[in-house]
Amino acid sequence: MKPGVCEKPVRLMRRVILDYPDTRLHTERHGWLRVRDEGDKITFTYKEQLERHTATGIHEVETSVGSFENTVALCEAIGLQVFSFQESKRETWQLGDCEVVLDEWPWVKPYIEVEGPTEASVKEASEQLGFSWDTAVFGGTTAVFRREYPNIPTGEDIVDDHGL
C-alpha cells in the first residue's frame, strides 16, 4: 500500500445535531441529522445506527449544502430542533481507499478514526498504521468518551446523537 497523503490539514469542525422535538429519529430509529462545517465544505447528513460496535454499523446519507447557518435555519423552520452544538479539530489523511482522521475533542485524548468501503480495507489500513484489530473501538465519539469516562450511564449518548 502506498504511504498516506494528508488531504486536509488541521481545521476547526463545527456541527449541530437535530431531531424533532419529540426525538422520534433518536428513539424510534436510532438516527439523527447533522449539519457540519468541515472548513472547506458544509454537509447535511442523516445517520442511523444499524448495528452497535461494528465497523459497518452506521447507515449514512450525506449531501453538500451552501451555508451552515441557513441549513440549520431551514431545519428549524420545518420544526426540527437543535439538540447539540459541537466543535472539534480534525486532520484528514487518505491511506489506500480508506480515510484516516485525527480527531481532537474537548475532555478526551486525541484519537484516530479509520473509515473505508469494506471491513477488510479498514483492517488493512489499521494494520499498516500499527493498530491491532483486537483492541479496535467501534462507534462514534460516544465510544471514545466511554473509554475515557467508563462511569457514564449506559444508554446515554455523549455527542453522536442528542447528548440526552
Please tell me the pTM assigned to this model: 0.74
- Domains of the chain by range and CATH? 5-148 (2.40.320.10)
What backbone phi and psi angles, to 5 degrees, belong to 146?
Answer: -65, -35
| Predicted confidence band of residue 25 (pLDDT cuts 50, 70, 90) | very high
Condensed to tens digits (0 to 9), the pLDDT of residues 32-52 reads 999 999 989 999 999 998 765
Determine the pLDDT at residue 54: 58
Task: Output 141 or 91, whichever has higher pLDDT.
Answer: 91
- 29 close to 108: Cβ distance less than 8 angstroms: no
Condensed to tens digits (0 to 9), the pLDDT of residues 74-130 reads 999 999 999 999 999 999 999 999 999 999 999 999 999 999 999 899 999 999 999
